[in-house]
Structure 1
């Protein structure tokens, strides 16, 4: 700091805009800020005895050099003594993006720039989350600390106080009365159309602005009505199927000699404990896929049914009793396997049983394990008709551990064919991926989206709940949970099939679906061979 002692008027002019005085006219002392006051006093004689210039110009030049040197020295030393630093402006992701755009304009659209912006945004998000979590932890910590202090406090009670200052006070989170404003009556008036349209368009706009609240009030009611209509249609069709099958076996005695359709039992089977669950690999990897039958056998059967007498066809050709009693007449075989009639409930059950036996025959190396487990159509009919399926003997035999010859917990894939008015569908449960596959053979890769998808979804979720209820009652520690499943509607057919062909296509899908696709595609040429295979497998069913 320079202290002016005297004012002797104007000094000599120079290139600068300020008045510069001669050194002999000033009385000052330069202080060394590092050394303190003592160093400043020691430098005073040195300042008084500096070199005298020979002329005015030399004097003026030396004086300017001294001033510049002293200014540079004081400027370089000043930041060392600054204790308080100026805070930086708060920066954000927008500043980071502006910096990239201004400094590197040619890389604005580059992938590296986008990655940097994304990483910067993630860092900012983590910082904000960390700040919020720290504050939340501090709030919890202060409550925990004060609770500990108030619980151990004895000084307040010793002094006669009823409450402790460290004890928390309940905070009323309800809104205050002063913060609420009662809604007043509506003001009479006419809504004005502020749009630029004229004529009929203005009237239409006013009507559309008045109706949304009414439409929103009606929309949930419409959805509920549609849902109830779909559920009622599913229930009526399932009960009609149950009534039709029950009438077929009305002549059978209910004496316990065999298990008839819908027969109930009082108790439930003992639960099996699942200790070390594991899944079997698919038959294509292990090479245990059953071989197809010989085609000449199918030709002989077709010729026989074509020339058989009606009296001969009226008798029972197939009778099977496990897991429940089924009988098939020759006329049903001729109509459904030789003709073009839709495969019915009982025929589908017999074919499913036979193919399950074929899988066990082919897999001789691990007969106590299985990759896929079938559920006959009776399961879906009982569940959808809201019958007591848990106490049904055939369901207990199909899912219980006491009757099955293999461990059902090793199955990766469970499936069941489901009859509908439009034809058959098949539902798969992938126990590894927790995905429900709903496959309609009439939904091909080239067809329009399904119009029955909402109803099929209701059916699938209802069967899913019933299946895991059976697992919960029949097993302890089932390896797969009921929740967290997804549903998938697959289009696997390469051709468009009719309703009467849906039964044979469903059986083909159950045989060649590997959780992702069909090992053998479903085409019209393949469909002509399906009935041939089913016809031969019908007569190979074994009594087990």
Structure 2
């Protein structure tokens, strides 16, 4: 994949590097102020030494969960609306507490106020709320019954990966990236994974790059373009960012696994227009998580409309409250308080 060699490339590189330097500083400061226990793996924590390569057996790609029929139906809309309405009216005192605290592959902590503002009021999505959602989506995927044991169809890569790469740090030595790419290989072969979803923040909001190992293409999903299409500058930005992510992803795969099955050469990009409506820029994060959850490799299984985005945000609110391994009870206790009228929850 080539990048147009003009003066704009250097300007794009400088803009992205500056933005991610600022984001990295914000995240480091955020967790320094929280002061988690010393044994926690934090954002940016590194590890020394070359990783021991894992030998993966050859296999076919897994089938998508819609073909297999393992996508579970969400709770009824009225139940999800009840949770949203409760969250909208919850006291600041209740919401100021940490609501999601999760240790692996790295420590994350988000409070109820951030969840309320971003999933109920649809304010701009933060790095850590997106991380929490992608982590929960990965948990849900692992809980789906699969037609072939040991195979998977998609991999949710947390924002930590793109943030590391686009700040020009080495992802190979970042503890959480090693853990996230190598975890679970004994029971589930990553070589069977066709779709790899990588979210990233650009100046206009969140985007998702879907790496399709079967077709050797990068599907670019950018909510900021809406139904109108990509400008030449927007394409140049995505070429620059996706090139960096492509090189870094395959560098990790070749370093962590023996005989990785898919070559890194001769990849293409596609820029589908899959939105029917224009959304507010603050909703780009919600749109990005909607795409990652509902894209089947060819199309969205559920059309993205203002109505379906509200349903999605309500569902993500519910799922965050059910995060497995959450080390605080604020979310689960609140869910228990709400669901007395809704036995389906």
The interval holding the TM-score normalised by the smaller chain is: 0.7 to 0.9
What CA deviation, in whole Å up to 9, does each residue of 1:31-77 have, x standing for no partner?
Answer: xxxxxxxxxxxxxxxxxxxxxxxxxxxxxxxxxxxxxxxxxxxxxxx
Following the alignment from structure 1 to structure 2, what is the Cα–Cα distance between the partners of residues 476 and 448? 38
In the other structure, the counterpart of 2:188 is: 406
Where do 1:407-426 residues align within 5 Å?
A: 407-426=189-208
Where do 1:174-185 residues align within 5 Å?
A: none
Query: Shift in Å at residue 403 of structure 1?
Result: 6.7
What CA deviation, in whole Å up to 9, does each residue of 1:356-403 have, x standing for no partner?
Answer: 111222225545321000100110000000112111110001112567
In the other structure, the counterpart of 2:270 is: 488
Residues 446 and 307 of structure 1: CA distance in aligned 2, closer, same or farther (over 3 Å): closer
Which residue among 294, 307, 310 is the counterpart of 2:76? Answer: 294
What CA deviation, in whole Å up to 9, does each residue of 1:464-510 have, x standing for no partner?
Answer: 00000001110110000111111111111111122111111111111
Q: Secondary structure at the match of 2:173?
A: coil
Q: Kindly indicate whether the alpha-carbon contact (under 8 Å) linking 2:58 and 2:191 is maintained by their aligned counterparts in 1.
A: no
Following the alignment from structure 1 to structure 2, what is the Cα–Cα distance between the partners of residues 465 and 296? 45
Gaps of 5+ in 2: 327-345
Q: Secondary structure at the match of 1:452?
A: helix
Query: Shift in Å at residue 251 of structure 1?
Result: 3.8
Q: Secondary structure at the match of 2:32?
A: coil
Residues 403 and 240 of structure 1: CA distance in aligned 2, closer, same or farther (over 3 Å): farther
Query: Shift in Å at residue 330 of structure 1?
Result: 1.1
Which residue among 458, 479, 502 is the counterpart of 2:284? Answer: 502
Q: Kindly indicate whether the alpha-carbon contact (under 8 Å) linking 1:413 and 1:431 is maintained by their aligned counterparts in 2.
A: yes
Residues 330 and 450 of structure 1: CA distance in aligned 2, closer, same or farther (over 3 Å): farther
Q: Kindly indicate whether the alpha-carbon contact (under 8 Å) linking 1:297 and 1:536 is maintained by their aligned counterparts in 2.
A: no
Which residue among 337, 341, 366 is the counterpart of 2:123? Answer: 341
Following the alignment from structure 2 to structure 1, what is the Cα–Cα distance between the partners of residues 122 and 279? 12
Q: Secondary structure at the match of 2:109?
A: strand
- Greater gyration radius: 1
Q: Kindly indicate whether the alpha-carbon contact (under 8 Å) linking 1:373 and 1:413 is maintained by their aligned counterparts in 2.
A: yes
Q: Kindly indicate whether the alpha-carbon contact (under 8 Å) linking 2:53 and 2:255 is maintained by their aligned counterparts in 1.
A: yes
Q: Kindly indicate whether the alpha-carbon contact (under 8 Å) linking 2:68 and 2:146 is maintained by their aligned counterparts in 1.
A: no
Following the alignment from structure 1 to structure 2, what is the Cα–Cα distance between the partners of residues 281 and 523? 27
Following the alignment from structure 2 to structure 1, what is the Cα–Cα distance between the partners of residues 68 and 184? 27
Where do 1:230-269 residues align within 5 Å?
A: 230-251=12-33, 257-269=39-51
Gaps of 5+ in 1: 1-221
Q: Secondary structure at the match of 1:504?
A: helix
Query: Shift in Å at residue 525 of structure 1?
Result: 2.2
Structure 1 residue 307 corresponds to structure 2 residue 307? no
Where do 1:370-389 residues align within 5 Å?
A: 370-389=152-171
Structure 1 residue 454 corresponds to structure 2 residue 236? yes
Which structure has more RCO (C-alpha within 8 Å, separation ≥ 6)?
Answer: 2
Residues 258 and 405 of structure 1: CA distance in aligned 2, closer, same or farther (over 3 Å): farther
Following the alignment from structure 1 to structure 2, what is the Cα–Cα distance between the partners of residues 417 and 323? 17
Aligned length: 323
Structure 1 residue 273 corresponds to structure 2 residue 55? yes
In the other structure, the counterpart of 1:432 is: 214
> Normalization by structure 1: what TM-score?
0.57
Q: Secondary structure at the match of 1:317?
A: strand
Following the alignment from structure 2 to structure 1, what is the Cα–Cα distance between the partners of residues 304 and 186? 31
Following the alignment from structure 2 to structure 1, what is the Cα–Cα distance between the partners of residues 185 and 297? 27
What CA deviation, in whole Å up to 9, does each residue of 1:138-167 have, x standing for no partner?
Answer: xxxxxxxxxxxxxxxxxxxxxxxxxxxxxx
- Root-mean-square deviation (CA, aligned residues, Å) is 2.1
> Normalization by structure 2: what TM-score?
0.88
Q: Kindly indicate whether the alpha-carbon contact (under 8 Å) linking 2:204 and 2:224 is maintained by their aligned counterparts in 1.
A: no
Residues 421 and 446 of structure 1: CA distance in aligned 2, closer, same or farther (over 3 Å): closer
What CA deviation, in whole Å up to 9, does each residue of 1:190-248 have, x standing for no partner?
Answer: xxxxxxxxxxxxxxxxxxxxxxxxxxxxxxxx954321111000111111111111111
Q: Secondary structure at the match of 2:292?
A: helix
Q: Kindly indicate whether the alpha-carbon contact (under 8 Å) linking 1:397 and 1:403 is maintained by their aligned counterparts in 2.
A: no
Following the alignment from structure 2 to structure 1, what is the Cα–Cα distance between the partners of residues 183 and 261? 15
